[in-house]
Amino acid sequence: MDLDAITKYSALHAKPDGLVLQYGTAGFRTKAEHLDHVMFRMGLLAVLRSKQTKSTIGVMVTASHNPEEDNGVKLVDPLGEMLAPSWEEHATCLANAEEQDMPRVLMDISVKAAVNLQQDAFVVIGRDTRPSSEKLSQSVIDGVTVLEGQFHDYGLLTTPQLHYMVYCRNTSGQYGKATIEGYCQKLSKAFTELTKQAFCSGDEYRSLKVDCANGIGALKLREMEHYISQELSVQLLNDGTKGKLNHLCGADFVKSHQKPPQGMEMKPNERCCSFDGDADRIVYYYLDVDGHFHLIDGDKIATLISSFLKELLLEIGESLNIGVVQTAYANGSSTRYLEEVMKVPVYCTKTGVKHLHHKAQEFDIGVYFEANGHGTVLFSKAAEIRIKQLAKELEDKKRKAAKMLENVIDLFNQAAGDAISDMLVIEAILTLKGLTVQQWDALYMDLPNRQLKVKVADRQVISTTDAERQVVTPPGLQEAINDLVKKYKLSRAFVRPSGTEDIVRVYAEADSQENADSLAHAVSLAVFQLAGGVGEPPQPV
């Protein structure tokens, strides 16, 4: 390791004095102007991780659902999954090392992690459409090159596409071809094969309005459109030609405000969906004939998918185990429906894809979705082999079901939650089952709920346990929440510090929207009072 070169180049990406950042729910996120040094250092770290794992490592420059002024970076591990927790700690140490200590901290990491510095390194880089992303990804490349790593810059990509590329490269192409064409071909082939099986392919199943959050999803869906236009016609809105990224649009806006994005004209019962800023989340929605807005979030997506998978398994007579993984944000009705009606085991993990993904790997078929629309399905190697074998051996209807499962496996991006891939899966299932968006929505009734944000001086004063459903510190806050929850019927509430924004998130559900709003507001006030709120106290919803 040429420490002189590292010191010299690091000075060109100097760390602002005293700035402390944490590798959070999905990497580092903050205002773009504070991230140059972090990008350079993550380029360095990606090289070490690549040498240590003898694999290609990914670096994605994005702040996903955050405002356009923010940016962020996360590393992608060899099988397309999120960075291992011990390396998140290395990332935090390296990002926070003062300029003069940085080369030493880098050396310490390579010793601690037993990195063979003689090993070759290869890093792939992707970025979203934020104005700051191009320059910041150049800083990542500077970090990679100073440690003499090889790299491929994919340029503009959705986050899940970068995860996919990493997975493909580290399985010698077995998972797919590590190009955009490879991605589009793999998904569109599976989609076409699946929808071919549908009996009803009337026009009502074939068109979809997509709000692209003015982000990368628009560019990448346009590329996919060409491959799927025979089966599905997509109308892209908020495609970035005029609006601001994530501003009054996108999956996060629609989910948290429970209303349509700006620029979306909806006819009654028309199927619409929203991606988030880096296209790793999707939510659906529609207006009923009375003009009421209905949101179909990650929970209902998980329900649709797991019931479809269960039906196919029943058809082929195979008892592979299915598990559904959710977080505390999952609507109480969804958990009840999955457990009591569908008889599927449900597990709750902390927020963050890495936690859900990890848990989902325990099943033959692990379905994981956060309520915010981030999720996918994982098939164990054994399950995949068995299904492929059955698709050859079985006959007639059973064979058809096994073939469908085979295509479903290919249609999911098993490296990460992927709005484009999930959209195609959902569209295929709705077509195959002949379901309208209203019929899908009617599977169960969501409990009215509300999410709020509270600004506090230091959100880390809140610590939680029990998959973030209980507060440990500050003292008295959980007791206050318990007392408030008791005042409402069918109620539940929890609070947790966000890992992507400088705020505390509050979630409440209750028997009516009025009560959910009132409970969320009361809990927000408790957070404000007991956890060091700043600015104006939270106002009623």
Out of 369, 505, 521, 522, name the contact with ligand G16 by CB under 6 A. Answer: 505
Out of 188, 195, 351, 413, name the contact with ligand G16 by CB under 6 A. Answer: 351
Out of 15, 65, 90, 469, name the contact with ligand G16 by CB under 6 A. Answer: 65
Query: What does the alpha-carbon distance between residue 541 and residue 533 come to, in Å, rounded to a whole number?
Result: 17
* Minimum CB distance to ligand G16 smaller for 30 or for 195: 30
Report, in Å, the least distance between residue 24 CB and ligand G16. Answer: 6
For residue 385, how many other CB atoms are within 10 A of its CB? 11
- Contacting range for ligand G16; rule: CB under 6 A; set: 45-53, 85-93, 378-386, 494-502: 494-502
Question: What number of helices (H) and strands (E) belong to the chain?
Answer: 18, 19
Contact mark string toward ligand G16, 369..408, x via CB under 6 A: -x-x-x----------------------------------
* Minimum CB distance to ligand G16 smaller for 51 or for 350: 350
DSSP state of 334: H
Dihedral of alpha carbons 166, 137, 52, 352, sign: negative
DSSP state of 535: S
Interface with ligand G16 (CB under 6 A), residue total: 18
Out of 139, 158, 464, 500, name the contact with ligand G16 by CB under 6 A. Answer: 500
Kindly state the tokens that stand for 77. Answer: 């591990």
* Minimum CB distance to ligand G16 smaller for 49 or for 505: 505
Site for ligand G16 in 257-316 (CB under 6 A): 276, 280-281
- Contacting range for ligand G16; rule: CB under 6 A; set: 149-157, 191-199, 206-214, 348-356: 348-356
Strand arrangement, sheet containing 504-509: 449-454, 504-509, 492-497
- Contacting range for ligand G16; rule: CB under 6 A; set: 233-241, 351-359, 402-410, 418-426: 351-359
- Contacting range for ligand G16; rule: CB under 6 A; set: 1-9, 242-250, 442-450, 498-506: 498-506
- Contacting range for ligand G16; rule: CB under 6 A; set: 110-118, 315-323, 454-462, 497-505: 497-505
Name the residue with tokens 């959902």: 426
- Contacting range for ligand G16; rule: CB under 6 A; set: 331-339, 367-375, 430-438, 446-454: 367-375
Catalytic residue among 64, 188, 274, 334: 64
* Minimum CB distance to ligand G16 smaller for 72 or for 103: 72
* Minimum CB distance to ligand G16 smaller for 73 or for 430: 73
Report, in Å, the least distance between residue 65 CB and ligand G16. Answer: 4
Helix orientation angle between 180-196 and 216-228, rounded to the nearest 10 degrees: 50
* Minimum CB distance to ligand G16 smaller for 280 or for 299: 280
Do 471 and 477 touch, CB atoms closer than 8 A? yes
Q: Is 137 a catalytic residue?
A: no
Q: Whose CA is closest to 130, among 64, 210, 205? A: 64
Apex CA 355: angle with CA 35 and CA 445, to 5°? 110
Please state the φ and ψ torsions of residue 272, each to the nearest 5 degrees: -135, 155
* Minimum CB distance to ligand G16 smaller for 64 or for 307: 64
* Minimum CB distance to ligand G16 smaller for 63 or for 115: 63
Report, in Å, the least distance between residue 370 CB and ligand G16. Answer: 5
Report, in Å, the least distance between residue 500 CB and ligand G16. Answer: 3
Q: Is 459 in the site for ligand G16 (CB under 6 A)?
A: no
- Listed in sequence order, the residues at least 6 apart from 12 whose beta carbon sits closer than 8 Å to its beta carbon are 40, 142
Out of 176, 250, 260, 352, name the contact with ligand G16 by CB under 6 A. Answer: 352
DSSP 482-499: HHHHTTSTT-EEEEEE-S
Q: Is 498 in the site for ligand G16 (CB under 6 A)?
A: yes
Q: Is 436 in the site for ligand G16 (CB under 6 A)?
A: no
Report, in Å, the least distance between residue 280 CB and ligand G16. Answer: 5
Helix orientation angle between 396-411 and 381-393, rounded to the nearest 10 degrees: 140
Report, in Å, the least distance between residue 376 CB and ligand G16. Answer: 12
Contact mark string toward ligand G16, 74..103, x via CB under 6 A: ------------------------------
Q: Which long-range contacts (CB under 8 A, 24 or more apart) does 469-474 make?
A: 469/328, 469/348, 469/494, 470/494, 471/495, 474/530, 474/531
Q: Can you give the C-alpha Rg of the chain in angstroms?
A: 23
Q: Whose CA is closest to 310, among 296, 324, 326? A: 324
> For every residue of 338-395, which 3-state class applies, written as one string?
HHHHCCCCEEEECCCHHHHHHHHCCCCEEEEECCCCCEEEEECHHHHHHHHHHHHHCC
Alpha helical stretches, state H, 229-260: 251-257
Q: How many CA atoms lie within 13 A of 18 on its CB side?
A: 0
Out of 10, 53, 56, 64, name the contact with ligand G16 by CB under 6 A. Answer: 64
* Minimum CB distance to ligand G16 smaller for 70 or for 364: 70
* Minimum CB distance to ligand G16 smaller for 372 or for 449: 372
Identify the H or E element spanning 236.
strand 233-237
Name the residue with tokens 């999707």: 282
For residue 258, how many other CB atoms are within 10 A of its CB? 18
Q: How many CA atoms lie within 13 A of 203 on its CB side?
A: 1
Report, in Å, the least distance between residue 501 CB and ligand G16. Answer: 5
Contact mark string toward ligand G16, 18..57, x via CB under 6 A: -------xx-------------------------------
Residues marked as catalytic: 64
Which residue ranges make up the site for ligand G16 (CB under 6 A)?
Answer: 25-26, 64-65, 276, 280-281, 351-353, 370, 372, 374, 498-501, 505
